Amino acid sequence: MARTLALATVCLLAAGLSITAAQGLFGAPPANVPADNAAPATPPAAENEPAAPVRPGSPTAVVKPFYEHVGLELDPAERSDFADPAKSVLDKSDALRKSGQGECLDPNMALDNAAYDRAEIDKSLKTVEAVKGDEAKVIVAFIIAGNPHRLEWKLRKVGDGWKITDLLSVTGEWALSQYQCE
């Protein structure tokens, strides 16, 4: 049943449905989304069902390290995983930090700026990948301190690999590409 629902999710996302329609796949939508726009919640997967393996080189494989190493998205050594507009914002944030004028970005954007609890994240982390041509989305859902979080990683095929072009928080209503780090 869970695999059927996961396949249906990928099909819906690949068909180009809005994130508002897709967000019901990971529970109730954020409070500011009208209830009549919400899709029904998907029942949680069985506790003992193993997660599908991540294919090397897939969009999910590009996103996964950001959940294994908190704050990795702000590490200039990881800039090769990004393309514009995300790369430009991260580069401007680096320049601002080096100038001594402060920080522009939160240190744990991949966790929706929530408190970090490795065990809680590992237990609840779910991903869904949708690829359409040279563009992809990886929806990530997890629970921290009883609060659900959903993020959407947008990627674009560049050469033989995938590059992150934006990171959006469905829960927190922010997008990396919208930050003004100047």
In this structure, is residue 159 part of a structural domain?
yes
In this structure, is residue 109 part of a structural domain?
yes
- CA-closest candidate to residue 20, choices 10, 8, 32, 5: 32
Which residues constitute the domain of residue 74? 53-178
One-letter amino acid at 93 equals S
The residue-averaged pLDDT of 2-15 equals: 38
In this structure, is residue 120 part of a structural domain?
yes
What are 5's two structure tokens? 């629902």
Domain count, the chain: 1
CATH of residue 140:
3.10.450.50
In this structure, is residue 162 part of a structural domain?
yes
For the chain, what's the residue count? 182
Peptide linkage before 85 cis (omega within 30 of 0) = yes
In this structure, is residue 34 part of a structural domain?
no
Please report which confidence band the pLDDT of residue 127 belongs to, taking 50, 70 and 90 as the band edges.
very high
The residue-averaged pLDDT of 65-77 equals: 87
DSSP 11: H
Please report which confidence band the pLDDT of residue 118 belongs to, taking 50, 70 and 90 as the band edges.
confident
How many CA atoms lie less than 13 Å away from 36 in the CB half-sphere?
0
Name residue 147's beta-bridge partners. 144
pLDDT in tens, 19-46: 433 344 444 434 433 333 333 333 334 4
Q: Rounded to an integer, what distance in angstroms lies between the CA atom of residue 154 and that of residue 2?
A: 24
In this structure, is residue 166 part of a structural domain?
yes
